[in-house]
Structure 1
């Protein structure tokens, strides 16, 4: 398929994991892809796999970083059709353990940076009749033990998605989100290496495995495409069936 030929797609957090898989997926479908993340060398490695790509190294937790990303993305190919807000971070710990710096890091990256970049590129998206896809999480739908900062941030993205879809009524810009469950990425590498923890996750996932980044990337591409032209304000669980459960354990 080449659903994005001639279109420009911006992917944040594109240096690894879901972001890298998403950038490659759009590239395979003919898009001009702008890859945004903090580390130039990692971005260059991903961009090497994409026929038409530009990289913008920027820290989206800062105002200057957002300005750099927005101007670089706009100038790269002269238009913006899709914004994939994927960049994010997490801090583990209870409210007694997480300090101001940890809380601020998560909020500035996962929420404020997303809002700033979306706001900066909104005129471009209106002009192109484009759309936004957020990477939220199942952690933005329900709570986790020891992850309150991440839960709060992804909960904000979950509802930001809904609210922006309403506000976009006159502009025609669609806004949707994916809500992945346990996915094999750099962010979860410590979890993936813990066999006992993985086994507990798999007890709750009917498909019986963690997600691969490509599993999420394929759904992001769907939401961004014209195939989803009447899908708007949706938080779509991409979780192997995790959210199908009411939370009770498997029965013998």
Structure 2
């Protein structure tokens, strides 16, 4: 079943984990996929490995400001034309507390400012009916823990951004949704038996579990889901 056949999807901030898995599942659903990161060698490795599954290209460039976001988006547009899907996976994790605040600037940049730069520059190239997916975290929407101050408030800010962006883009018929993962564990490997790597309720899960939810959010099956963050944690937050 090719639920995204012929659709153009850009994945920003690809790593060997979630981004690699997401690109794989998007291709298996028939999408044309562009992957992005600041590491050209990693992009070449990922696109070479995934080329047998469909049409995948890469656009290198690290997002650090509006100009770099604009450059990546415009180069992606030249590859495939207008976008039907955008996933922003720029991340990173630092522990800090009220005494040090050592991660404040980096966490706000990575989890709030850089994703918003990407969305702002991408909107003009997105088709009506398209979907934007942002990645918050359980720590951004659920109970607080010590020593995760900057990370948690940044992820909470991104979760609120999903709601606000949805209200702003609804008239353009662009949905904005998000996921709140628990702990994305390990690197992705195509075609492996990943379900045996976790059980329901585990705080950790392989990238496949989270990538498949993002894919579903880009299909027409979820077209009445808008402006929400979906917890993806196997129920671990309840235990």
Higher mean C-alpha deviation, range 8-17 or range 222-231: 8-17
| Superposed counterparts of 1:176-191, under 5 Å | 176-185=177-186
Candidates 94, 97, 101, aligned match of 1:94 = 97
> Is 1:5–2:8 an aligned residue pair?
no
Q: Distance in 2 between matches of 1:124 and 1:219?
A: 24
> Aligned-residue CA RMSD in angstroms?
1.8
| Superposed counterparts of 1:208-227, under 5 Å | 208=202, 210-227=204-221
User: What is the SS of the residue equivalent to 1:152?
Assistant: helix
Unaligned runs of 5+ in 2: 188-197
Q: Distance in 2 between matches of 1:81 and 1:169?
A: 15
Candidates 209, 222, 228, aligned match of 2:222 = 228
Q: 2:203·2:233 contact (CA, 8 Å) conserved in 1?
A: no
Aligned to 2:233: 239
Q: Distance in 1 between matches of 2:154 and 2:44?
A: 29
> Is 1:37–2:37 an aligned residue pair?
yes
Q: 2:65·2:117 contact (CA, 8 Å) conserved in 1?
A: no
| Superposed counterparts of 1:165-204, under 5 Å | 165-185=166-186
User: What is the SS of the residue equivalent to 1:35?
Assistant: strand
User: Deviation digits for residues 146-201 of structure 1, max 9, x if unmatched?
Assistant: 11111111101111111111222311111110111022047xxxxxxxxxxxxxxx
Count of residue correspondences: 225
Displacement over 3 Å in runs of 4+: none
Deviation at 1:44?
1.3
Q: 1:139·1:151 contact (CA, 8 Å) conserved in 2?
A: yes
Q: 1:168·1:174 contact (CA, 8 Å) conserved in 2?
A: yes
Say which structure is richer in strand: 2
Higher mean C-alpha deviation, range 207-216 or range 3-12: 207-216
> Is 1:59–2:62 an aligned residue pair?
yes
Aligned to 2:191: none
User: What is the SS of the residue equivalent to 2:183?
Assistant: coil
Q: 2:66·2:121 contact (CA, 8 Å) conserved in 1?
A: no
User: What is the SS of the residue equivalent to 2:59?
Assistant: strand
TM-score, normalised by the number of residues in structure 2: 0.88
Deviation at 1:209?
5.6
Unaligned runs of 5+ in 1: 187-201, 246-252
User: Deviation digits for residues 9-43 of structure 1, max 9, x if unmatched?
Assistant: 01112132111111111011111111011101111
Q: Distance in 2 between matches of 1:144 and 1:171?
A: 38
Q: 1:91·1:98 contact (CA, 8 Å) conserved in 2?
A: no
Higher mean C-alpha deviation, range 136-145 or range 224-233: 136-145
Q: 2:66·2:118 contact (CA, 8 Å) conserved in 1?
A: no
Deviation at 1:206?
5.4
Q: Distance in 1 between matches of 2:82 and 2:172?
A: 16
Q: Distance in 2 between matches of 1:214 and 1:170?
A: 32
